[in-house]
Structure 1
Amino acid sequence: MAARAVFLDRDGVLNRVSVVDGVPRPPQTFEQFAILPGVEEACTTLRREGFKLIVVTNQPDVARGRQSLEMVERFNRELRDRLALDDLLMCLHDDHHGCDCRKPRPGMLLAAAGAHDIELASSIMVGDRDKDIEAGRAAGCATVFVDGGYGQRPQPPANLTVASLLEAVPWIVSQGRPEK
């Protein structure tokens, strides 16, 4: 039987971002890196409910020369260690590269589905940007938009809009249960 997954964007869903001119920016130093309140509890509950937890994250600052790959990998190791993730996929390309892995394209979700025998129609993409929601839709997943207050709203809207991953957990769990 195929698995169900919760695909998680990284910055703004799992860890804090700083907002500069209305645009969320990932942490630049390890001292700035902080897992958001409720994320560990949310991941524990989702795992207990049988969901695989897979991070799918765009990290174009590496290609742009704004961040080192070593620092991004350090952030990712911290998430893996603290959240017991099943996988973490990362796109290091910028928009002009035209790759299939960079969200809003669904390449990372499709790759994870193949690697982990995931049924995309029973899975959920959680993100804080319109690109995340578009990627989830393109892969055939339900979508959750975490509104970080950046003034951005995906169009058409996600299946659910919340203020945090923890707030989304009851809805996500209800989506994974068979109808009575």
Structure 2
Amino acid sequence: MFLDRDGVLNRSLMRNGRPHPPDTVEEFELLPGVAEACALLKDAGFLLVVVTNQPDVGRGTQSLEVVEAMHRKLESLLPLDRIETCYDPGGAPSERRKPAPGMLLSASRELNINLRESYLVGDRWRDIDAGAAAGCAATFFIDYGYEEELRTLPDYKVASLLQAAKMIVNIEEA
């Protein structure tokens, strides 16, 4: 189970109609239903892998220490198996930065994950493109109505991670 971070697990901050990651650990807040969704997926036997672009570190507008502190907080709140982070600033091709599938491919090698039996949940076009490029069984798009177009259609549109988790468990049980 591949999960984007901002907008899927924790609340994004909206600026000028666009979502942004929290600036501080104090602003880092889980979204409603996330803990329940992760527990449901874990109980169903899924590994939970966060795949997150954090380009502000590469751009020098966010400190690595703050992002790592947010990840420690996330790991203390959720039963995660791994957090894959790309700090590339963007603007140049990158194998790890979503929409490229590098973080998913790396985690699949390290944790012996079959991508064809995996799912990705994201809230941005980059997430959906990465899941499709990696060959995931299905992608789930949490649709917040951001002012950006999807480049690859997701397999499912959902309102939350909890809704996606319930659908995935039902798919697996079928």
TM-score by length of 1: 0.92
- Equivalent position of 2:147 in the other structure: 151
Q: Give unmatched runs, 5+ long, in structure 2.
A: none
The letter of the residue matching 2:158 is V
CA shift at 1:97, angstroms?
A: 3.6
Counterpart of 2:3 in structure 1 is 8
Alignment coverage as a number of residue pairs: 173
Query: Equivalent residue for 1:58?
Result: 53
Q: Which amino acid aligns with 2:165?
A: V
3-state SS of paired residue (2:58): coil
AA of the residue aligned to 2:18 = V
Q: Distance in 1 between matches of 2:149 and 2:159?
A: 13
Match of 1:115 in 2: 110
Pick the aligned partner of 2:168 from 162, 167, 172: 172
Report the Cα distance in structure 1 between the residues aligned to 2:117 and 2:103, rounded to whole angstroms.
17
Per-residue CA deviations over 1:37-83 (Å, capped at 9, x if unaligned) read 00000000000001100000000000111110000001111111110
CA distance in 2: counterparts of 1:96 and 1:151, whole angstroms: 20
SS at match of 2:36: helix
Give the Cα–Cα distance (whole angstroms) in 1 for the partners of residues 26 and 75 of structure 2. Answer: 17
Length-normalised TM-score, structure 2: 0.95
Q: Deviations over 1:75-126 (max 9, x none)?
A: 1111111101000000000222422000000000000001111110110011
- Secondary structure of the residue aligned to 1:134 is helix
Q: 8 Å contact 1:64–1:94 — kept in the other structure?
A: yes
Unaligned ranges ≥5, structure 1: 1-5
1:36 matched to 2:31? The reply is yes
SS in 2 for 1:137: helix
Between the aligned partners of 1:148 and 1:74, the Cα distance in structure 2 is: 26
Opposite residue 14 of structure 2, the aligned amino acid is V
**Letter of the structure 1 residue corresponding to residue 129 of structure 2:** E
* Structure 1 stretch displaced more, 24-33 or 128-137: 24-33
**What is the DSSP-based 3-state SS (H/G/I as helix, E as strand, rest coil) of the residue aligned with 2:91?**
helix
